[in-house]
Amino acid sequence: MGGFAGFMRGSFSIAKYTLREGLRKKTMIGFLILSILVIFGSQFITAFLAQSTVGDSQADIDVKLIKDICVTVISIFGVLITIFISASVVPGEVENKVIYTILSKPVRRFQYLFGKFLGVQLIVLLNLALMGGLFFVALYFKQQVLPTLLLYSILLTYFSFLVVSAFTFAVSCTSSSSVLPTIAGLFIYITGNLTDYLKDVYDRAGQTGDALDAFIGNVAYGLWNILPNLQYFNLKDQILYLQPNDPPRDVQLPQLIIYGLAYAVAGYLMSYWIFRRKEL
Amino acid sequence: MFKKFPNLTLGLLLVLVLIAASAQGRRVSHLRDCDRFYRWMLSACTQVRIFGIPGTTIEGADETEGVDARLFRQLIEKSDPVLPDIPVGERDYDQNGDPYPKIVRFTAVPPDPEADTAEKEGLIQTPEQISRDQQLWALALSSDMAPLRAEFLTALREGTLTSSGSQLHLSGLYEERGTTVSLANMFLGFRKMAANLVWLEVDKLYHKGVMHRMLPLMKTCVTLDPTFIDAFLVGAWHLAYNATAKLTDTPYELREYYPKYTDWLGEKEQYYYSGIEFLEDGIRKNPREYKLYFDLGYGIYDEKLHNTPKAVEYLAEANRLYHDRWVPRQLYRLLGKDERYEESKKGWEDYHAWQPENLVAPRFIKLMEGAIKERDAEWASFKARAAEELAARAAAAGDATRAQEWSALAQQAREAETAGYEAARQFWRSIAEESEQSEVYAVARELILNGREKLQQKRYVEAWVDFDRARWASDEFWDEATKAMVEAKQLANEPLALTEIRQLEREQIQLDYTRHLPKSMGGKFFEFSEGTWTEKAKGSSSEGTEIIRDTDAFFELLYNHPEIGKALDTLDGNIKVKVGDTWLRIVNPKPALASKLYTPPA
């Protein structure tokens, strides 16, 4: 237990340091400020709508606009922040050679990497909390009701970022610069959102009776099974617009969390596998 | 092992985790498929109950042949043995008089007044609804449904379904053809943002007054984002209210008959039905959104088309769903307007028990009490007329004993009528005095009753004055009081004003055109087909007992069931009506009066 406690203490120290370092990154702060400005600005976008409609509908349209703008902003800026941070923490330390000082101390590579990964997650969570918190407040001021369901939406958004972050982190372990992992991160995000297309390819394959057609279908099916599908996390409509009791949504929420965690573990294992072989 | 074969161990571990993640992915994918299927079941069942068929068909096409209908038939077959027994309620019958399938009844949970106390986020939900939703979800997940689910998913993928709603959003119906994902969808809510921008454009056009350009944009808006409830609501409002604001009612001579709507429509009236179709589209896509039903019922059917029974149907549906607290208030008000006074009063009493601080409920409870008193007096009047007629017939037939018996009964009924009207008048007066004449409803009712009494006493000019005062006291009774006033003037041999003459002419023309259109009567709805008026209380598949009009049996029926008197008095031709649990066919030996729409067969 002592060993585990020591491991966690070490990892947390690295995570804390990574968080502090991350908060100083200008790109991240820039994205964060931009997103916060847009979320704040969503309060005023409804000024474009003249007060033409009956009271209730006008208020509802205001709320809808705020929800749509904020959800989109959180998704876009959130994933950009996640990719930039995940792609830069390890290569940054390799580049400025801080990693050599750390690894020369009694810190195991697994522990170091875990600390870094944890640090990245803390930054992502902090950003999401800031953006989500502002969204929460914006909605509360419009509706005068605590939008508790919104928290589920933000939670799911985080788990989709976790998957992107884990695989971007794995790519970043192969590189000494953050450019390649950033591009890879964006690619992972795009691919992750297009995984459903593979299922479509499989469903439509075999119609010609051609062997190649069937083969392509099977390959697509295999890839569909292996690759993470970020569209699964897209339950925002059900969360934000449906009534509070919705059995399918309630069942899917925990299953999606497990799904996100499983791919995050896979991503992290991949990064460790790469990192432990890295010559430092 | 890790120290000896680190790469192998890590590789194996990675493969194992990927397999676990992939298995979880398949589970999530299965849940999403079941989610789509579940939402289709809900949507299709709602559409069957509200519109008669799941999905939409092209006009003239056989509605039983579509993919939606075929899948729905299979759903009924598979779900019937699995679902618990649900009693067939009074309104659980389709147009043909057959009870709705079990799954349709199962998805329509009656409102539970007890549940109204379970308030959450300013809205109301029923525990029974939550429990049934969970059972339905279990059904959607079950392996028994697997073949039907697969068939449904294939139809959904191929885009052959019309009944899948958008509260699914996952339907694929509104996605780009050929793929269920797109780069636009990737930036989650991108389509929604586009819909919002289109909506801003609609708003701009509204302020420019360019109504005709708004409709295609509004349709684009809801196609981009079918969950945009307010676009449906405001769009229908623009169509039914703003687009028609500067138009005058089309004279009946210039209208055209639309069998689809069973109504005569001009340019203005067509906008109402465009609004209805827009909201119906919204309901198909968002079957659980009470605001759509509310606006359709109250906003268009009641306010614009004055079809209160239909409005009540939609408001009852809104009240059954997860709704805001003003929904039952409007429902109970319209129940009163539809002369379903007891139901309305009961509703207001429940509402008052739930929201004791609400000031409207006690007022309406009193108004309904007064209305019940007036209605009872009116029924006594029907009884008296029937008994007097029976007494006269018995006397003419030489049956003095029976004539005496009926005369005594007629006398009793007349006394009940007089006492009833007097009680109602006293009741309205007491309310008016209590409120220092600020309760205009009671003031107007008392004046109308006074006027009626004076009419009977042949004090026509005084009656005319009472009716005139009544119509200015409360605009709710404007039409009723104006009609009575004109009647009093005619009886008094007073010349009518030009506007009154024109109004009578217009009414006559309207009657010529609408004599055989569906009518609301004392809280019941009658439809005209094949020369017969049929009460639209569902479950009327049996032929019913025949009773010839103006015979002894007919008057005895009227005496025993004065509640059908109003319908018998007003509707022309043969009538099929439900009395207690039995259906009666009241046959008129005289042919029905011809109308522009209907000509009796030669």
Beta strand pairing call for B582-587 and B545-548: parallel
Per the CB < 8 Å rule, is A255 touching B35? no
- How many Cβ pairs closer than 8 A exist between chain A and B? 162
- What is the H or E stretch that residue B521 is in? strand B519-521
DSSP designation for A116: H
How many domains, in total, are found in chain B? 5
Task: Say which range, A104-113, A195-204, B586-595, has the weakest mean pLDDT.
Answer: B586-595
Pull the structure tokens for residue B336.
Answer: 């009163």
| B253 shares a domain with B325 | yes
pLDDT at B124: 66
Per the CB < 8 Å rule, is A273 touching B10? yes
Per the CB < 8 Å rule, is B157 touching A247? no
Contacts with B169 from chain A: Cβ below 8 Å: 237-238
pLDDT band at residue B91 using 50, 70 and 90 as cut-offs? confident
Per the CB < 8 Å rule, is B21 touching A69? no
Q: What does residue B237 show for φ and ψ, rounded to 5 degrees?
A: -65, -45
- What is the H or E stretch that residue B464 is in? helix B460-473
Closest in A193, A244, A255 to B181, CB measured: A193
> CA of A143: which chain B residue's CA is closest?
B121
B514 in a structural domain: yes
| B390 shares a domain with B345 | no
Read off the pLDDT of residues A133-158 as tens digits, 9 standing for 90 and up. Answer: 888 888 887 777 677 777 788 888 99
Give the mean model confidence (pLDDT) for residues A255-276. Answer: 94
Give the N- to C-terminal CA distance of chain A in Å, as an integer: 30
Per the CB < 8 Å rule, is B14 touching A270? yes
| B97 shares a domain with B196 | no
DSSP designation for B262: T
Contacts with A270 from chain B: Cβ below 8 Å: 14
Mean pLDDT estimate for chain A: 85
B246 in a structural domain: yes
Predicted confidence (pLDDT) at residue B596 exceeds the cutoff of 70: yes
pLDDT at B380: 96
Beta strand pairing call for B532-535 and B524-529: antiparallel
Closest in B35, B185, B203 to A52, CB measured: B203
Q: Please say whether the beta carbons of B272 and B302 come within 8 A.
A: no
B180 in a structural domain: no
B171 in a structural domain: no
pLDDT band at residue A203 using 50, 70 and 90 as cut-offs? confident
Give the mean model confidence (pLDDT) for residues B162-168. Answer: 51
In chain A, domain spans? 2-277
pLDDT at A140: 82
Give which of A35, A61, A190 to mutate to test B binding, by max B Cβ within 10 Å: A61
- What is the H or E stretch that residue B273 is in? helix B267-285
Residue B77 domain boundaries = 6-165
| B331 shares a domain with B194 | yes
Pull the structure tokens for residue B469.
Answer: 């005062």
Q: Supply the ipTM of this predicted assembly.
A: 0.90
CA distances from B393 to B153, B401, B405, B407, B561 (A): 70, 12, 12, 11, 19
Query: Pick the residue with more confidence: B399 or B61?
Result: B399
| B45, β-bridge pairs | none
Beta strand pairing call for B256-258 and B123-124: unpaired
How far is it, in rounded angstroms, from Cα B58 to Cα B72? 18
B554 in a structural domain: yes
B582 in a structural domain: yes
| B290 shares a domain with B235 | yes
| B139 shares a domain with B54 | yes
Q: Which of B165, B182, B204 is the last residue of a domain?
A: B165
Q: Please say whether the beta carbons of B541 and B533 come within 8 A.
A: no
Read off the pLDDT of residues B365-388 as tens digits, 9 standing for 90 and up. Answer: 999 999 999 999 999 999 999 999
| B411 shares a domain with B455 | no
pLDDT at B582: 83
| B578, β-bridge pairs | B583
Residue B527: closest CA among B586, B579, B576:
B576
Task: Say which range, B59-63, B132-136, B492-496, has the weakest mean pLDDT.
Answer: B59-63
How far is it, in rounded angstroms, from Cα A233 to Cα A227? 14
Contacts with A255 from chain B: Cβ below 8 Å: 24, 27-28, 31
